[in-house]
Amino acid sequence: MENLMRFDTGLMFWTWVTFLVVLVILGTKAWKPMMNALEKREAFIKDSLAQANEARLEAERVAKAYDEMVAKARREAQEIVAAGKTTAEKLKADILDEAKAKADALLVQAGRQIDSERDKAIAEIRNQIVDLSLFAAAKVIGKAVSKEDNERLINETLQEIGQS
C-alpha cells in the first residue's frame, strides 16, 4: 500500500511524455479533420440559408406581382362596369328594352372576363409559388423531391394558399 502512495518522478515524466505524444497525434490526426468537417457543414448551412432567403424574396416578389395584377384586374373591372353603365344609359334613351338587354349582356361578359382573368392570374401565381417552394425545399433538404411527394406538396400548398 505504501508503494502506491509514493511519488515517482520517472513515472510522472513518462506520463507527461505519453500525454503530450497522444495530444500531438490527436491534434494532427483527429482535431484538424474534425474542424474541417465542421467548417464545411457550417458553409453548407450558410449557403442553404442564403438560398432559402433568395427563394423567400422571390416568393415575395411574385406575391407582390400577383397583388398588382389583382388590383389592375379590379381597376379594369371597374372601368368595364362604368363603360357598361354609360352605354346602357345612352341606349336607354333611344330604345329602353334593347339597352337594358345589352347592358346586362355586357355586365355578364365583363364578369366572366374578370373571373376568367382572375382565375388565370391566381393559377399562374399559385404555380409559380409552388414551383419556387418546391425548388427551395429541394435545395434546403438537399435531395430531389419524388413525384408523389411533389404532388402531395403541391396539393397541400394550394390548400394553404386557398385558405389564406
Neighbours of 133 (CB within 10 A): 19
Q: Which residue has the higher pLDDT, 60 or 137?
A: 60
pTM: predicted TM-score of the whole model, two decimal places: 0.34
Model pLDDT for residues 113-159, shown as the tens digit of each residue: 999 998 898 888 877 776 777 677 776 776 666 667 777 777 787 78
What is the distance between the alpha carbons of residues 126 and 124, in angstroms, rounded to a whole number? Answer: 5
Q: How many domains does the chain have?
A: 1
pLDDT level of residue 164 (50, 70, 90 thresholds) = low
**Mean pLDDT across the stretch 13-37?**
89
Which domain covers residue 57, as residue numbers? 2-163
How confident is the model over 29-52, as pLDDT tens digits? 888 888 889 999 999 999 999 999
Q: What is the mean pLDDT of residues 13-28?
A: 91
pLDDT at site 5: 66
The CA distance from 143 to 132, in Å, is 15
